Amino acid sequence: MLTVLVCLIIVNVVHNAALALWALAGDVIIKEVCFGSGPTLLSFNKVRIKLFPFNGRVVLLNSHDTDFSPKTRQGAFDLKPLKVRLSIILSGCLITLLMSILITSGTSWPAFLAAFNQIINGRLHPFSDAQNLLLQAQNFTLEHSFLKVLGYTMAISSSFNLLPLSILNGGTAILALISKVCSLSDTIIHRIHLISLLIFIAMLFSWLISLLIFFFS
């Protein structure tokens, strides 16, 4: 499992770095780039290296931020055209997936497509489907090279981040598309984020239970 943990750390760095670089290419002002979560270990310019090497975030300037001004208007993310915003939102997933396909010579593509269903089924059936998936992942890790494991981890991570939850890239992209058609109030957006967060926590909790059963049964 150490191999998988190292792969997840690499994927996290690639995903957030790609998003930050794409935002810069789109002339969006970056306020902060965090690699990991928890207390800050290292800090330079706008980059923060956190204690726990999982998760992360890229904070972009928006027009409703307190530090927004007419001088920074051109660099506000929410004032950019929809296609620019969508490209930035999805850049981390797409670049990670592209690297996955290159590393595995395309063999990780079916895993990317299958992962959507597997993530949901594993969450709904922690005592059956999830156990089979974890066993398959363990065997795959033992039988293949680090690079191939990394490639498949990138593919599955891309699937995960494209799930239609507003706290993930997929859901954020959907909200951006909806906002083009109709205006959503802050209250509705807050409720959507809250529901997404609750679903996300339930999903992680279910997979945590599955992992505990897998390793200690």
Residues 206, 124: Cα–Cα separation, whole Å: 8
Establish if 209 belongs to a structural domain. yes
Each residue's pLDDT tens digit, 113-151: 999 999 999 989 999 999 999 999 999 999 999 999 999
Annotate 56-96 with DSSP letters as a single string. Answer: EEEEE--TTSTT--GGGGGG-GGGS-HHHHHHHHHHHHHHH
Establish if 13 belongs to a structural domain. no
Over the chain, what is the mean pLDDT? Answer: 93
- pTM value surpassing 0.95: no
Establish if 68 belongs to a structural domain. no
Q: List residues bridging with 44 in a β-sheet.
A: 47
pLDDT (0 to 100) of residue 33: 95
The total number of structural domains in the chain stands at 1
Give the angle subtended at the CA of 148 by the CAs of 159 and 168, to the nearest 5°: 20
Cβ proximity of 16 and 57 under 8 Å: yes
Residue 119's contacts (CB-CB under 8 Å, 6 or more residues apart) are: 156, 159, 160, 163, 203
Establish if 112 belongs to a structural domain. yes
Report residue 199 as tokens.
Answer: 């679903």
pLDDT (0 to 100) of residue 179: 86
Range of the domain at 137: 81-216
Establish if 88 belongs to a structural domain. yes
Each residue's pLDDT tens digit, 54-110: 888 999 999 888 888 888 889 999 999 999 999 999 999 999 999 999 999 999 999
Establish if 135 belongs to a structural domain. yes
Establish if 74 belongs to a structural domain. no
Establish if 33 belongs to a structural domain. no
